[in-house]
Chains A and B, each alone.
Chain A
Amino acid sequence: MSRRDRPLRPGTAWAHGTAWAALAAIALSGCGADSDRSLSGLIEIDGSSTVFPISQAMAEEFQIAYRRAVRVSVGVSGTGGGFQRFCNGETEIANASRRINDAEAASCAAHGIEPVELQVAWDGLTVVVHPSNDWVDCVSVTELRRLWTPGSDIVNWRQVRPAWPDEDLRLYGPDTDSGTFDYFTAAVVGEEGASRHDYAASTDDNVLVAGVSGDPGALGYFGYAYFEDNRGHLRALEVDAGGGCVAPTRETILDGTYTPLARPMYIYVRRDALVRPEVNAFVSFYIDHAATLIPEAGYMPLEPEAYATLRARIG
């Protein structure tokens, strides 16, 4: 196949004219200096839809900074699906909303792929209801466990707490490919992967947002960014782990009071891909722009020192 390596085609420059203005503030702070025009190649990323907004933002800004000579694609197969492809050698980077598990690590090893784990952000799994729901502000971990435990027969709000009204309760949550599902079941039900199955499930958090925001009897959970992006259509519940009700906010997630649903988010990079200059440039870009782009994507960045450590690790 003929490869056209011209990164910029006529017409692109003026087309971006209007766009530049809107993004100038965040996107271009410092990007111009570190963009090396000699780089090219294709970087494929797949995995968690919770981490997707971060990697999408990084991919978008990186490609603008590098004039699209380096091309980055970002898929949403869920953490499990992402690791499957990553360990198969199909992608360079896996988005993950939990750590790699033993089976996945073994699969990677079997294919000769050594994953480099980089924690890039914090998330607070957010329990949400429809905005017209006016009877619940706070839910305890015990109640969540009774709701989500395998075989649970709760289909009405009154069954959860007798003070709540006699309304149908419908559940929305990520499906089993999702790292969010794994994390939630481990933290709330007590065993990873243990959950009732009669709920509306999707790998795509946007589908869950649409579901909960259209159903007055709904209760669902997903990553904080998807709540923050859709504040007008959802209401987040406070969570009581025994020490009182705590709302998910940037502060409570970062200072550790929002337990047990605050969690780290990762990207995994192939060690042998990290020596490729374009992959190394992308991961460096990711870390260098984490502090600006991660809050914009709706998540909480790490301390600056943590990013400095990551930067040193990838060389």
Chain B
Amino acid sequence: MNPGAAPPRGGRFEPRVAARRRAGVRFKWLCRFAVAFAVASLLVLLVHILATGLPTLSPDFLVTFPSRFPDRAGIRSAILGSLWLLTLVAAMSFPLGVGAAVYLEEYAPRNRLTNLLQTNIANLAGVPSIVYGLLGLAVFVRFLSLERSLLAGAATLSLLVLPLVIIAAREAIRAVPDSLREAAYALGATRWQAIRHHVLPAALPGILSGTILALSRAGGETAPLLIIGALTFIAFDPVSVMDPFTVLPIQIFNWTADPREEFHALAAGAIVVLLGVLLLMNAAAILIRNRYER
């Protein structure tokens, strides 16, 4: 028997409109439930953190050093440490990441090696952060003898966010239309001039917003810094890149690990601050993207 000639099961086509409509409605509600569940759990988390954290927030909390007494403790050294660290990470990962992206997009020949590189970078972006911590401990802390300094921490986090920066920068560069490059070449520009004056400026908003998102990831990381040994009582301002340091997520970890309730409230306060900082950074990224998007 020829299978193609088999008549549809049940013979004649039945519209069954009501049943199909019901299925449609059921699916819509399923999707609504999925959204509600996600948003509700996020809200519960936020409300809980805000309720416990907000009462501890005060100007004093931001500018005093950590202490063994909860009523004296603040996050000054953690905020300063986070700022130092993020500045250093930006200084290291931005030029390296953009440079790598420019090479891969504009210079590299399309061959097996480049493909291998690209696959590797994409994979590196998915490596768990604790692995970068172990790498940082072996390479920066021990081998390069940077010890537990800001520099070692920043180098470790730069490795962690570098793949993200490269991927974002590559996508931004790829989105620059070829007509721009060709127009530059037609006017006698060299490859470098075309990149410098046309491709990079056009890709900059995308690169910047990608970098800021990568930095906000670095700002929230705890595991790699714990591995390189940043779990330390620091009650002073870091003044050089070789100083030991603490950052907001480490301070939060530290206070959450303390069994005393008062410290949990402080941890919630620090979480609110960290959330605020990360939200600001993400908002800046979105702003940059919207502003320059054509």
Task: Say yes or no for B20: interface residue by CB 8 A criterion.
Answer: no
Judge whether A57 and B231 touch: CB under 8 Å.
no
A4: chain B residues within 8 A (beta carbon): 239
In whole angstroms, how far apart are the Cα atoms of A18 and B241 in the complex? Answer: 32
A314 to chain B, nearest CB (A): 23
- Which residues of the other chain, B, contact A11 by a CB distance below 8 angstroms? 63
Decide if A206 touches B258 in the complex (CB within 8 Å): yes
A297 to B237, CA, bound (A): 25
Report the nearest B residue to A53, measured CB to CB. B68
Interface size on B, residues (CB 8 A): 31
Which chain A residues lie closer than 8 Å to B74 at the CB level? 15
B71:A22 contact, CB within 8 angstroms: yes
Contact B72–A12 (Cβ < 8 Å): no
A71 within 8 Å of B (CB atoms) = yes
| Inter-subunit contact B68/A210 (CB<8 Å) | no
A74 located at the interface, meaning its Cβ lies under 8 Å from any Cβ of chain B in the complex: yes
Instruction: Encode contact with A along B170-183: 1 for CB under 8 Å, 0 otherwise.
Output: 00000000000000
- For A69, the closest partner residue in chain B by CB is B236
Most interface-central of B59, B72, B147, B234 (chain A CB within 10 A): B72
Is B244 interfacial (CB 8 A cutoff)?
Answer: yes
The answer to the question of B242 belonging to the interface, with a C-beta cut-off of 8 Å to chain A, is yes
A3 & B239 in contact (Cβ 8 Å cutoff): yes
Decide if B233 touches A73 in the complex (CB within 8 Å).
Answer: yes
Q: Hey, what's the 0/1 contact readout for A5-39 against B, CB within 8 Å counting as 1?
A: 10001011001101100110000000000000000
Within B51-107, the residues touching A (CB, 8 Å) are 59-60, 63-65, 67-69, 71-72, 74
- B234 contacts across to A, CB distance below 8 A: 73
Q: Cβ of A213 < 8 Å from any Cβ of B? A: yes
Choose from B148, B236, B257 the contact partner of A207 (Cβ within 8 Å).
B257
Which residues in chain A, 72-86, are within 8 Å of chain B measured between CB atoms?
72-77
On chain B, the residues within 8 Å of A297 by CB distance are: 68
Q: Are A75 and B71 in contact, with the CB atoms below 8 A?
A: no
Cα A52 to Cα B259 with chains together (Å): 15
B240 interfacial by beta-carbon distance below 8 Å: yes
**A209 CB–B CB distance under 8 Å:** yes
Of chain B, the residue at the smallest CB distance from A52 is: B233
Residue contact B60 to A18, C-beta cutoff 8 Å: yes
User: Which of A2, A52, A75, A230 sits near B229, CB closer than 8 Å?
Assistant: A75
Contact across chains for B233 and A56 when beta carbons are under 8 A apart? yes
B243, CB-defined interface residue at 8 Å: yes
Task: Given A76-B231, A90-B147, decide whether A210 and B257 contact each other with a Cβ distance below 8 A.
Answer: yes
* Closest partner residue, chain A, to B66 (CB atom): A60
Provide the bound-state CA to CA distance between A72 and B63, in Å. 18
Q: Contact between B229 and A77 (Cβ–Cβ < 8 Å)?
A: yes
Contact B231 A22 (CB under 8 A): no
Does B235 sit within 8 A of A, measured CB to CB?
A: yes
Q: Which of A58-77 contact B (CB under 8 A)?
A: 59-60, 63, 68, 71-77
**Inter-subunit contact B257/A56 (CB<8 Å):** no
B257 and A60 form a contact (CB under 8 A)? no
Q: B68's contact among A56, A63, A72, A75, by CB below 8 Å, is which?
A: A56
Given the known inter-chain contacts A1-B240, A23-B69, please indicate yes or no for A74 contacting B233, CB distance below 8 A. yes
A100-125, CB < 8 A from B: none
Q: Is A137 an interface residue (CB 8 A)?
A: no
- Pull 17 A–B residue pairs with CB atoms less than 8 Å apart, ordered by A: A1-B239, A1-B240, A3-B240, A4-B239, A11-B63, A19-B64, A19-B72, A23-B72, A42-B244, A53-B68, A56-B233, A59-B233, A63-B65, A63-B235, A73-B234, A77-B229, A230-B259
Question: What is B's interface to A at a CB cutoff of 8 Å?
Answer: 59-60, 63-65, 67-69, 71-72, 74, 147-148, 229, 231-237, 239-244, 257-260
Query: 16 other contacts beyond A18-B60, A75-B232, with CB at 8 A cut-off?
Result: A9-B237, A12-B63, A15-B74, A19-B60, A22-B71, A23-B69, A23-B72, A59-B233, A59-B235, A60-B67, A63-B236, A68-B236, A71-B236, A204-B257, A206-B259, A229-B259
Give me the interface of A with B, judged by CB distance under 8 Å.
Answer: 1-5, 9, 11-12, 15-16, 18-19, 22-23, 42, 44, 46, 52-53, 56-57, 59-60, 63, 68, 71-77, 90, 204, 206-207, 209-210, 213, 229-230, 233, 297
A-B CB proximity, top 5 nearest: A71-B236, A74-B233, A1-B240, A19-B72, A15-B63
